[in-house]
Structure 1
Amino acid sequence: MEEKRRLILEAAILCLEQFGFRGTTIERIAKFAHVSKSSIYECFANKEALIEAIVDDVLKDLLSESEKVCLPGQRLSEDIERTVDVMIALRARHRLLVGIYREARQSGVHGIMEMRQALEKGIMAYIEALVNRHIEQGEVFRLEPKLISFLIYRSYFQLIYDWEDIDQPLSPQQIKNALNAFAQ
């Protein structure tokens, strides 16, 4: 059952990347996964539950990898730099994040907006907890942890995806330098 679930999730990710939220159907996912529609419904109640499982998996993967590089004794700026490196490395594996971000912004479709919000809340909660951990270790910041987490998360996406609309893509170091402005 777990293998079938994994195949379905991978197929759903491929469909979402290729066809977007609107174009991804249970039928299409079943075809990509080489399973029946009823097999999908054995694992997931509906498309929304399937999407929620994808968001949970992507979020767990991102946060797990980030946690490995956020070591005790580092300053927040170091944690941000290392986490950005992780995000950049995982970006190829999680092209879905790009699609969610762009499709939600362009279409405003209810289901995709919920996916984006779930990802945002999870990632920002992690960043806020990271900032609070640094405060407990004695670091002082000019901004509140929740605001820092919001600015870092949103700025990351703006710098990665939207900056290219107005200028040449930024290097990873330029992105890290910009985000570290909030870690002071």
Structure 2
Amino acid sequence: MDKKAPRRRTRIQTEKREVILEAALEVFSAQGFRGATIDQIAEAAGMSKPNLLYYFKRKEDIHRTLIERLLETWLAPLRELDDIGDPMTELRSYIRRKLEMARDFPRESRLFANEILQGAPRIMPLLEGELKSLVDEKVAVIRGWMRAGRIVRTDPYHLIFAIWATTQHYADFDVQVRAVLGPDRGGDGRFEDAARFLEQLFLEGLKPRG
């Protein structure tokens, strides 16, 4: 006998799930997975614990949903790296998009960083699967640019890692960045300053010699 198709969520159910996920993002990004509790998430969501458990049976289910969404968002700029585009334009756009995400999604970035620092026990299959496959694909694109003499030869994996590290720093270490820059330079303009610096750092270093 055929299995019944899962029932579609009502608008109210969808809205409630979004409220829970937004509250959980706040709690997880502040407390980490281990420090966060269902009670804290329910309180932040403004609902009872039994009501929350109607939508998500376990803390792990909430966390996994957030991480899967985050990875989808996080990987979108890398997916857009186009092999037929101009390498400098493509890489400049990628750096800019990553900085925009650091500016617009700081809690999500800290959530991901906390998971990685704990050894990625809940997302290792995603890292070894979807993430690795996409990075391998874009490494092939960058190597193609190198073979064509459009950028200097370097290790494309470490190029991608370096872009991740330098852009996500502005989300994961936001408090430190603002403290060091001070009130005059620690506002939103810091992201434009960072973009100009990182473009110079990476793109000048990748220009073909001679």
**Fold in common (TM above 0.5):** yes
Letter of the aligned partner of 2:43 in structure 1? K
Q: Which moved more, 1:142-151 or 1:6-15?
A: 142-151
Counterpart-to-counterpart distance in 2, 1:80 and 1:48: 36
Asked if the contact 2:33/2:63 (under 8 Å) is kept, the reply is no
Cα distance, 1:120 vs structure 2 = 6.8
Letter of the aligned partner of 1:83 in structure 2? Y
Letter of the aligned partner of 2:141 in structure 1? R
1:78 aligns with 2:89: yes
Asked if the contact 1:9/1:54 (under 8 Å) is kept, the reply is yes
Counterpart-to-counterpart distance in 2, 1:127 and 1:183: 22
Q: What is the aligned residue count?
A: 179
Counterpart-to-counterpart distance in 2, 1:130 and 1:75: 14
1:29 aligns with 2:52: no
Larger Rg: 2
TM-score (norm 1): 0.68
* Aligned-pair Cα RMSD in Å: 3.9
1:44 aligns with 2:56: yes
Q: Write the mapping of 1:1-184 to structure 2, written as runs, cut at 5 A.
A: 1-68=13-80, 70-100=81-111, 103=114, 110=118, 113-114=120-121, 126-136=134-144, 139=148, 142-158=153-169, 161=173, 164=177, 168=181, 171-180=194-203, 181=205
Distance 1:7 1:101, change over 3 A: closer
Q: Percent identity?
A: 18
Unpaired runs of 5+ in structure 1? Answer: none
TM-score (norm 2): 0.61
Unpaired runs of 5+ in structure 2? Answer: 1-12, 182-189
Counterpart-to-counterpart distance in 2, 1:46 and 1:54: 13
Distance 1:166 1:139, change over 3 A: farther
Letter of the aligned partner of 2:154 in structure 1? L
Q: Which moved more, 1:81-90 or 1:121-130?
A: 121-130
Asked if the contact 1:81/1:176 (under 8 Å) is kept, the reply is yes
| Residue-by-residue CA offset, 1:116-158 (whole Å, 9 max, x unaligned) | 8788766665444223134356546633443333333234335
Asked if the contact 1:123/1:153 (under 8 Å) is kept, the reply is no
Asked if the contact 1:20/1:103 (under 8 Å) is kept, the reply is yes
Distance 1:82 1:114, change over 3 A: farther
Distance 1:158 1:164, change over 3 A: same
